Amino acid sequence: MKRFLTLIFALFGLHTADAETFTAKCKHVFDGDSFKAVKSGETEETEVRLYGIDAPEKGQDYAKQAREKLIKLIRNKEVRVEVQDTDSYGRQVGKVYVGKTYVNLEMVKAGLAWHYELYAQDAKDLKKAQAKARKDKKGLWKDDAPINPKDWRRDHKTDKADKQDEPTPAVAQEGSFTGTCTKVKDGEEFTLTTADGKALHIYLNGTDAPEQEQDPATCQAAKEKLTELILNKELRIVVNNTDSHRCYAAVHAGDIYINAEMIKCGLSWYSSLHAPDDAALKAADKTAKAAKIGIWAQASPQAPWKWRKQHPNL
């Protein structure tokens, strides 16, 4: 719903209820599209994400150059932030200016950030700047096939994906443990609260549900099914992998293996890349295909990872 509202506001040129403008001094630059600053007259730091752009991730080509460019533009300088939204991390998502210089636009002009079209469809200036940077082969556009940060995050399981639409950041934890599901994000991700009060962001390892823009009906059905299976229930978590705050795990509700259940219902694909040896997921995938249910009832279902590759700006 939040993403839908964000798009509506973007399409009609309106601001969310969080809209404001403030001045601040930049204290620290995280990467090519986010930083910390102290607002004028205050002492606490505020985190800011640049609206409408998406810079290369750490580990990607041009990530270092993007951060260095943003440092040059804003570090230790007074910036003006025109807030467009507040993301679920509590960060101000805004248009950033140093004097008359529109920083977001400068990053795209330099070929060191993509126009994040999903969250800024009406930003014709960013779209035009990207087209010119691409034509002139500036920055990341020097490569024949630069990888959109959103696709790179998905393939490398980083935690920055869809920052403007992520649940509250959580602590990562390894091993096996139990907890209660307190929030379901979609058909493959949820928040789990442990007995000691930790809020953990859990991803169903080895699954990949259709994207909202790809198949809204199945995406919603997957979320509803996962909610039915786990919300407010005690779960056993077996972590397969982690990043800075997310756990990729096998999830069990009593005797039910949730990951396999989502695939068996035809509401999620089996991601063999991330769970190549999981026999239960393989079997569930085979069962769903044979029964032609969910995604397999479609004439030519397309794997989400292939769809994302074909729609790099979404």
Q: What are φ and ψ of residue 150, in 5° steps?
A: -65, -40
Here the contacts of 12-19 (C-beta below 8 Å, separation 24 or greater) are 13/122, 15/83, 15/84, 15/85, 16/84, 16/85, 16/86, 18/83, 18/85, 18/86, 18/92, 19/82, 19/83, 19/84
pLDDT band at residue 11 using 50, 70 and 90 as cut-offs = very low
Average pLDDT estimate for 49-71: 93
- The catalytic residue positions are 49, 57, 91
Looking at residue 179, its amino acid is: G
Domain boundary among 156, 186, 220: 156
Domain tally for the chain? 2
The answer as to whether 162 is a domain residue is: no
Give residue-wise pLDDT tens across range 261-306.
999 999 999 998 889 999 999 999 999 999 999 999 999 999 988 8
36, 128: one domain: yes
- With respect to residue 161, please indicate whether it lies within any of the assigned structural domains: no
Q: Tens of pLDDT along 64-86?
A: 999 999 999 999 999 999 999 88
Tell me which residue has tokens 């752009």: 53
Q: What is the pTM of this model?
A: 0.50
Q: What is the CATH number of the domain that holds 102?
A: 2.40.50.90
By residue range, what is the domain housing residue 120?
A: 2-156
Same domain for 129 and 274?
A: no
Instruction: Write out pLDDT tens, residues 93-128.
Output: 999 999 999 999 999 999 999 999 888 888 999 999
Spatial separation of the C-alpha atoms in residues 77 and 19, rounded to whole Å: 22
Q: 304 and 249 in one domain? A: yes
Picking from 156, 189, 212, the residue at the C-terminal end of a domain is: 156
Residue at 128 is within a domain: yes
Question: In which residue are the tokens 């949730």 written?
Answer: 258
Better-predicted residue by pLDDT, 90 or 278: 278
Does residue 303 belong to any structural domain of this protein? yes
Q: Are residues 120 and 40 in the same domain?
A: yes
Query: What pLDDT is recorded for position 178?
Result: 95
24 plus 123 within the same structural domain: yes
